[in-house]
Chain A
Amino acid sequence: MSSNIVAAIEIGTSRTVLAMGETGEDGKVNIIGISDSPSSGVRKSQITDVGQTAAVVKSVLKKAADDYGISITDAVMVVSGPHIETHSTCGTWNTTSKAITDNDLAELWCNAQNRVQSELDCTSREILQINDLDYSVDDRDGIRNPRGMFGHTLQHNVLAIHCSKACIESTNNAIASAKLETSRRIFSGYCAALSALTNEEREEGALVIEFGGGSTSYTVFEGGALRTTGVVGVGGDHVSNDIAVAFQTTFKQAESLKIAHGAAVVSSASGDKRIELPSGVPGYEGKTISERALHTIINARMEELVRLILETVEASGYLHRLPRGIVITGGGASLTALPQLCSRIFGLNTRVGRPVNVNGIEERYNSPAYATITGALMYACKQENNHTTGGILDFIKRIFK
């Protein structure tokens, strides 16, 4: 593995993806290669069989070596699932000099980390990221960069994203069994936003909903910073399961129906068409199902899911601070008419998000399903750059973020 090449791995409920890249001359990430495979031993975003998961990780590492000639030994690990939670906290620092310096900010970052650790039960929770929200200098609130400002009292608001230690350890076990090290971890929802949002969307306010296989996350960006985030333990597998129960099919058949014929709304286009469904078992006859009924089942689940997210975003106070609307990512974002459903329920413009901040991505990976892994790669490259060029504050932040 070349010294400048970084990697990120995402063990999702549906797919396990490894991406490799490096920072290009324009500062954007150049994707060198992506290797992926259907996941095994993962359900509802959590490892249920370490051996099966390890085998899949080995297979994507081998594929990366075979296809791109790169041997990956260390990768940033993407963490997802409903065990992820957030914690907000505020710290104060009295400056020693009149103008605020990097040293003051570094002290605040150390304090923030200590404070979050003391306020959380760190025997069962692991801190994934600590994100700057904003600063206050004396009585002036909402400051994003206080460097060089004059004041005596500096306040620092942060949002910590933390997760279950037990879940992380299971994933670690599977990855370590495949001889891969994961020294850093990052939250999937944050990665999706990094990759799919434009700078304008991050600045002015936008919501990213990542429709994963086992869970769905949402992330609000405003003023260039992550403001609030969360995970609902319902994903694309729930949609497929609903279809399987309703039409008495296998889960695999339900998945195929969802992908080929699914839609998030029941519209006039959901006519009387019948969909052929082969039995898959020699000697047994197949059957047909109503396309309208299929859309009814999917609509019920997706409508409920989007409304759950609406409720939580509304409770966070950010619903009316999203002038740039909604960007949907994840494998589920490809579901027909999902943008329309989100638009109707939230009353906001919605677009499907693809990786927009990277170079060299192959067309087949330029889809919402790969936004998270490319975002993780962007994060990995940024960490690598800070490691080689950053100052004291970057060093401190790198430890905690």
Chain B
Amino acid sequence: MSDPTASSLILLGIGGAGCRIAAGISRAYGGNLRLLTLDTDASGASGVPFTLIGGNLLAGRGSGGSVPNARNAAKDDLGQLEQKLQGVKTAVIVTCLGGGTGGGVTLEVLQYLRQNGITSLVFATEPFGFEGEARSACARSVKGILEDNADVTVFLPLDTLVATSGTTDNMPESLQRGVDMVSTGVTLLWRLLEKPGFIRLDAERLRHLIEDGGNAGFATATATGPDRAAIVTGALKDSPLLRSSVQNRAVLVGVLAGDDLKLSEIGKISESVSFTFGAEARMELGTVNDEATFSGRLTVVILAIRGGKKSKAASKTASGKSRASLGTPSDRGRFNRAEPTLRNGVDLDIPTYLRQAITFDR
């Protein structure tokens, strides 16, 4: 696509690490993709379209690890997104939980997307164990509300993600490896959607898959040689990133290879996916034929979506746009038996901190 701004699919990188992942995807993709990065720290922007969030409140110095600070800052600046999201139907967000901006700004952006009828797929990494309990707790505090506001969420625990690479790194290398692995995976997904081969899987089909909501597992595998199809299907079958006790409702399968891709290989992958994820799961398969990039290699990308529809706390407004409606009647305190104070489908009698998942230490 020559003009990325004409695409209905946008990549949003949020927070410092989210911006780095997005920049990595942009480089790998040759820069020709619709992209926007958002951060509360002005020093994080480099070579990609960047919007500073909360300049007035935080002076471009970051959120200080505070989710409420980042959320308040984002509320001031969401108006900036209107022009930048013109024509967008689906947003893929990459972010890292554990800090203030990755959690806080992402939540506000998701609510904005939902209000504007834009479907969202979020890739959110969870911090390594060695990063400490404070960052883990911060990530845990926003996961629930993030799920409630995104259409589909992919949580990628960095410990698990890096363990699948089979390498042992020191701390900075591990962090970089985590960022690189997410970049690589999402780049493959982007190629699949924006440069489809003879079996098309485009952005519109992705949107239909994710608009019913849910959580997803995401993994990739690559192999070469005559048994490459068997090797990648075996690796994906065993991937801890795809393990779930919940029935998958849909599986997106991307097969990326050079000119040597055989129909028998596609058949083998399709059969294995159906066996692994259940015949009931709707399968959407697409291919990319790119001899220059994948010569001799076979790469498979899997996005396995489970749950959805009834598991979301989203409601549709009269305009067809969705809004989050969180909390339960038992949270309304002295207003328990009173007529709810509704505004755009949200019950304002429920304490704000509960609806916004603001955490605090009593």
Contacts and interface: CB of A to CB of B under 8 A. Distances in A.
Interface residues of A, number: 31
Range for the number of chain B residues in contact with chain A = 20 to 34
B14 to A, nearest CB: 21
Interface string B39-59: 000000000000000001100
Interface in A35-49: 43-44
B348 to A, nearest CB: 5
Contact of B356 (A289, A290, A300): A300
A297 B362 contact: no
B75 A242 contact: no
A385 B333 CA distance: 47
Interface in B68-95: 68, 72, 75-76
B358 A296 contact: yes
Given A297-B360, A344-B57, A242 B341 contact: no
Nearest to B75: A307
Contact of A241 (B56, B76, B335, B360): B335
A234 B353 contact: no
B341 A82 contact: yes
Given A82-B341, A266-B68, A293 B352 contact: no
A244 interface: yes
Contacts of A237: 334
Contact of B341 (A44, A296, A307, A345): A44
B362 A242 contact: no
Contacts of A301: 351-353
A238 B348 contact: yes
Contacts of A82: 341
A245 B351 contact: yes
A102 interface: no
Interface in A191-231: none
B142 to A, nearest CB: 14
Given A292-B360, A296-B68, A44 B351 contact: no
B361 interface: yes
B59 to A, nearest CB: 13
Contacts of A244: 333-334
A244 B343 CA distance: 23
A293 B75 contact: no
Nearest to A314: B79
A384 B156 CA distance: 72
Nearest to B354: A245
Interface string B329-340: 001111100100
B68 A238 contact: no
Given A238-B348, A296-B358, A308-B343, A246 B75 contact: no
B351 A242 contact: yes
Contacts of A242: 333, 351-353
Given A82-B341, A299-B68, A344-B56, A241 B334 contact: yes
B360 A296 contact: yes
Contacts of A246: 351, 353, 360, 362
A293 B331 CA distance: 18
B284 interface: no
Interface string A51-89: 000000000000000000000000000000010000000
Contacts of A234: 341, 348
Contacts of B57: 344
A71 to B, nearest CB: 36
A241 B349 CA distance: 9
A245 B358 CA distance: 13
B134 to A, nearest CB: 16
A234 B346 CA distance: 13
Contacts of B360: 246, 290, 292-293, 296-297
A33 interface: no
Contacts of A318: none
A247 interface: yes
A247 B362 contact: yes
B74 to A, nearest CB: 12
A21 B103 CA distance: 56
Contacts of A297: 351, 353, 358, 360
Contacts of B75: 303, 307
B323 to A, nearest CB: 14
Contacts of B331: 245
A16 B343 CA distance: 28
Contacts of A238: 335, 348-349, 351
Contacts of A233: 341, 343, 348
A250 to B, nearest CB: 10
A297 B353 CA distance: 6
B344 to A, nearest CB: 10
B362 A304 contact: no
Contacts of B72: 299, 303
Nearest to A307: B75
A43 B349 CA distance: 12
Interface string A117-154: 00000000000000000000000000000000000000
A68 to B, nearest CB: 35
A251 interface: yes
B130 to A, nearest CB: 27
**Which of B334, B349, B354 is most buried by chain A, counting CB atoms within 10 A of its CB?**
B334
Give the top 3 A-B pairs by smallest Cβ distance, nearest first. Answer: A242-B351, A293-B360, A300-B352
Given A242-B353, A304-B348, 12 more contacts: A241-B335, A246-B351, A246-B353, A251-B334, A290-B360, A296-B353, A296-B360, A297-B353, A297-B360, A300-B68, A300-B352, A344-B57
Interface of A: 43-44, 82, 232-234, 237-238, 241-242, 244-247, 251, 266, 289-290, 292-293, 296-297, 299-301, 303-304, 307-308, 344-345
24 contacts: A43-B338, A233-B348, A238-B335, A238-B348, A238-B351, A241-B332, A241-B349, A242-B333, A242-B351, A242-B352, A242-B353, A245-B333, A245-B354, A251-B333, A290-B360, A292-B360, A296-B68, A297-B353, A297-B358, A297-B360, A300-B68, A300-B351, A304-B352, A344-B57
